[in-house]
């Protein structure tokens, strides 16, 4: 990788992680933990296989990630963040915070993975009635389902299905996030294709702190 050649901490950081896709590799390892190459490839739609291999080598050389060979029955190479890589987590969170207002500018045809939602859920969402029993909302946005749960006043997301969800939302990510944040009314979201099953009252338990 080319260096900026500046005696500056910012440029040195960009030398290490400033290339296209590099911080998104860090994002994937932050959200998923240890990953196989194929997991990273699936979580980075649009990246070429040779580009991913190059970025992984560079991040490893920079001390951001490491690789290990997992024993049977996995018997494959796994990538993970090093302590140096984990130190980038506040950077990823702040980039997510800074870029959140731009999500409204994207098109419905943009690539999306449901587990990417776990970051904004952690940063922006809260339980409006933490004294009430916890609720679980299953959201289905085109790939694998995600469960949005309340826990001790916080809102968290996890991959998979809920055993007994209080409600199920099915539709475009923009519609699901709009309803959960409170920016979009349920009636309006339904006219745009959002499908809702279960107890719609529990949807008001989850709101975004960014709502004016």
DSSP 167-209: EEEES-HHHHHHHHHTSS-HHHHHHTT-EEEE-GGGGGGEEET
pLDDT in tens, 57-115: 999 999 999 999 888 887 799 999 999 999 999 999 899 888 877 776 656 678 999 99
Nearest to 122 by CA among 160, 85, 150: 150
What pLDDT shows up at residue 212?
38
Hey, what are 74's tokens?
Answer: 């996995």
Q: Where in the chain is the domain with CATH 3.30.1050.10?
A: 106-208
Contact present, 87 and 125 (Cβ < 8 Å): no
Q: Where in the chain is the domain with CATH 1.10.10.10?
A: 9-102
Mean pLDDT, to the nearest integer, of 116-136? 91
Residue 54 pLDDT grade (very low, low, confident, very high; cuts 50, 70, 90): very high
pLDDT value at 1 more than 90: no
What pLDDT shows up at residue 75?
77
pLDDT value at 49 more than 70: yes
What pLDDT shows up at residue 23?
97
Q: How far is CA 208 from CA 12, 179, 182, in A?
A: 36, 10, 7
What pLDDT shows up at residue 198?
96
pLDDT in tens, 197-207: 999 999 999 99
Query: Length of the chain, please?
Result: 212
What pLDDT shows up at residue 142?
80
Q: Is the CATH code 1.10.10.10 the one for domain 9-102?
A: yes
Hey, what are 208's tokens?
Answer: 């975004």
Mean pLDDT, to the nearest integer, of 41-64? 97
Average pLDDT, the chain: 91
- Please state whether the predicted TM-score (pTM) of the whole model is above 0.95: no
Which of the following CATH numbers is that of domain 106-208: 3.30.390.50, 3.30.1050.10, 3.40.50.720, 1.20.1260.10? 3.30.1050.10
What pLDDT shows up at residue 79?
97
Determine the Cα–Cα distance for residues 179 and 182; give it in Å rounded to an integer. Answer: 5
What pLDDT shows up at residue 128?
94
């Amino acid at each position: 990788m080319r260096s900026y050649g500046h005696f500056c901490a910012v440029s040195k950081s960009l030398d290490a992680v400033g290339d296209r896709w590099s911080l998104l590799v860090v994002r994937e390892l932050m959200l998923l933990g240890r990953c196989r190459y194929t997991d990273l490839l699936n979580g980075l739609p649009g990246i070429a296989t040779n580009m991913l291999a190059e970025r992984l080598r560079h991040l490893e050389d920079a001390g951001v990630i490491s690789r290990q060979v997992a024993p049977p029955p996995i018997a494959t190479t796994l990538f993970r963040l090093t302590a140096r890589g984990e130190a980038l987590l506040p950077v990823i969170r702040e980039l997510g915070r800074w870029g959140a207002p731009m999500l409204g500018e994207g098109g419905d045809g943009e690539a999306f993975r449901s587990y990417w939602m776990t970051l904004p859920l952690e940063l922006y969402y809260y339980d409006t009635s933490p004294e009430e029993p916890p609720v679980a909302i299953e959201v289905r946005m085109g790939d694998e389902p995600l469960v949005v749960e309340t826990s001790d006043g916080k809102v968290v997301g996890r991959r998979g299905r809920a055993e007994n969800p209080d409600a199920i939302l099915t539709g475009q990510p923009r519609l699901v996030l709009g309803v959960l944040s409170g920016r979009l009314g349920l009636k309006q979201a339904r006219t745009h294709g959002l499908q809702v099953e279960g107890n719609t009252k529990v949807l008001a338990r989850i709101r975004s702190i960014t709502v004016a």
